[in-house]
């Protein structure tokens, strides 16, 4: 059986793959795992939030029922960005947090993400314990042992907004910022935070109706937003995904500034102020080689992890590093947050533009992205990549050909019989040629 938990919680088509029954059982099992150490003289406490999908209400109620059936008092704060829920879990006296969201996925999908006490996502080991308990019979509490469920939305949203505004140590007065909220969970939070910090903000896609989340909007569909930034004559723009744990930017000319470029400009600024602990940035293996080369040129060490923000965070906590993230715009700054926070990232970028009195394009130019080609090769034995001599020889030959000006990465999919072939090179033509030849070798050698 495939593992239920993916790189970011449990995710699937709502009411088919992710049903209320499964949500209830996950809530119950998570309570048993994450509150096992709670003192017997008090009830465990949890907080639940969701994004704007219509299915979120159904699934949030089911998770709350599961938690309550395991004896957990639960507060449902309704719509709040994932990092807002992480903040509440870290800053209030609760034992776990739950977010109902499928992040950047289309509206019909949904997901369940868990946070442990302190506001951090779960390691694989805890997720495996939760999965192992699903469907098991056990002695459920009865009577006054059953958990209480209450709703409280505005207070939580205000607390999160106030916290983010308190992070703004540089006035944003005079900055004109465009914003695409993806009709998602930060449709109220992000515009409010940037305005209270002093910026003039123009917003699109901030009218969620339960069905339009991520619909041709946000960080995964920036085309219309790029045109909006230019037309509004903004200094720059920021675009979020549905649960606002990601942020991409757009410069005044309508060019996308991705997560690698954002991390690069933030890393340099933090290093200059002595805030980049150990002068180290943590990224995944999918970050562009241009970022790695730029950081090397400025005396910043780069640590690389497997794909997934959880693995970035684990490396950051293990090494005492403060900044890390993914090319997708999922950026973690442990000076301020326990997880990726798109609204915080937008605020930090805006503060650097204001502090340095430079355009976003100028700040982002420190990272010169190398052309990157990604080819998915389906219907292959993804587990044989590392063992097949022919594939490994082809990788070695391509790596030698590219030298210091390129990079090769073959990554098996976590959920499909598919291998992703990624190549970066000095020119688009070279990247495409090398990637195509490697994809042909994978298909020939590993076809099922």
Total Cβ atoms within 10 A of residue 327: 21
CB-based burial label for 405 (10 Å; 0-12, 13-18, 19+): middle
Please classify residue 49 by burial: count the beta carbons closer than 10 Å to its beta carbon, then call 0-12 exposed, 13-18 middle and 19+ buried: buried
Question: From the candidates 103, 187, 219, 287, which is the catalytic residue?
Answer: 103
Question: Residue 103 catalytic?
Answer: yes
* DSSP conformation letters of 154-209: HHHHHHHHHHHHHT--S--TT-EEEEE-TTSTTTTHHHHHHHHTT-EEEEES----
Q: How far lies 236's CA from each of 257, 263, 335, in Å?
A: 10, 16, 25
CA distance readout (Å), 364 to 47, 276, 321, 342:
37, 18, 22, 17
Q: Are strands 407-412 and 280-284 parallel, antiparallel or unpaired?
A: unpaired
Q: Are 2 and 105 in contact (CB under 8 A)?
A: no
Which strand (E) or helix (H) includes residue 358?
A: none
Q: HSE of 282 in the Cβ direction (CA atoms, 13 Å)?
A: 29
Cα–Cα–Cα angle for 247, 331, 223, rounded to 5 degrees = 25
The CA radius of gyration of the chain, in Å to the nearest whole number, is: 22
Exposed e or buried b for every residue in 124-159, given b needs 16+ CB within 10 A?
eebbebbbebeeeeeeeeeeeebbebeeeeeebbeb
Strand order in the sheet with 407-412: 372-378, 418-424, 407-412
198/169 Cα distance (integer angstroms): 11
Instruction: State which H helix or E strand residue 79 sits in.
Output: strand 73-79
Q: Give the catalytic positions in this structure.
A: 103
């Amino acid at each position: 059986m495939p593992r239920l938990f993916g790189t970011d919680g449990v995710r699937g088509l709502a009411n088919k793959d992710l049903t209320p029954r499964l949500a209830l059982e996950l809530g119950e099992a998570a309570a048993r795992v994450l509150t096992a150490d709670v003192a017997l003289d008090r009830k465990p406490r949890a907080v639940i939030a969701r994004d704007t999908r219509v299915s979120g209400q159904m699934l949030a109620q089911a998770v709350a029922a599961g938690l309550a059936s395991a004896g957990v008092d639960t507060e449902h704060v309704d719509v709040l960005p994932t990092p807002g829920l992480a903040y509440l879990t870290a800053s209030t006296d609760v034992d776990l947090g739950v977010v109902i969201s499928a992040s950047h996925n289309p509206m019909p999908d949904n997901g369940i993400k868990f946070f442990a006490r302190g506001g951090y996502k779960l390691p694989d080991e805890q997720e495996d314990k939760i999965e192992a308990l699903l469907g098991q019979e056990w002695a459920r509490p009865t009577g006054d042992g059953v958990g209480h469920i209450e709703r409280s939305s505005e207070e939580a949203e205000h607390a999160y907004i106030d916290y983010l505004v308190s992070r703004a140590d540089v006035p944003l007065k005079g900055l004109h910022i465009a914003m695409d909220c993806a009709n998602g969970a930060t449709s109220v939070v992000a515009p409010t935070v940037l305005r209270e910090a002093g910026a003039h903000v123009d917003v699109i896609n901030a009218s969620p109706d339960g069905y339009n989340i991520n619909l041709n909007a946000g960080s995964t569909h920036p085309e219309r937003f790029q045109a909006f930034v230019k037309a509004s004559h903004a200094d720059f723009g920021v675009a979020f995904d549905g649960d606002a744990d990601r942020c991409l930017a757009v410069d005044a000319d309508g060019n996308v500034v991705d997560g690698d470029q954002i991390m690069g400009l933030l890393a340099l600024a933090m290093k200059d102020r002595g805030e980049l602990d150990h002068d180290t940035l943590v990224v995944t293996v999918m970050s562009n080689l241009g970022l790695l080369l730029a950081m090397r040129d400025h005396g910043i060490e780069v640590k690389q992890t497997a794909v997934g923000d959880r693995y970035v965070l684990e490396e950051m906590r293990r090494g005492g590093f403060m900044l890390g993230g993914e090319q997708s715009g999922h950026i973690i700054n442990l000076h301020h947050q326990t997880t990726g926070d798109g609204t915080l990232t937008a605020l930090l970028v805006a503060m650097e533009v204001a502090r340095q009195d430079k355009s976003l394009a100028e700040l982002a130019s420190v990272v010169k992205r190398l052309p990157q080609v990604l080819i998915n090769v389906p219907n292959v034995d993804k587990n044989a990549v590392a063992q097949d001599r022919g594939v490994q020889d082809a990788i070695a030959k391509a790596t030698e050909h590219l030298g210091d000006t390129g990079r090769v990465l073959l990554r098996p999919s976590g959920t499909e019989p598919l291998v992703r072939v990624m190549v970066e090179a000095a020119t688009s033509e070279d990247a495409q040629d090398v990637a195509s030849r490697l994809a042909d070798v994978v298909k020939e050698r590993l076809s099922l």
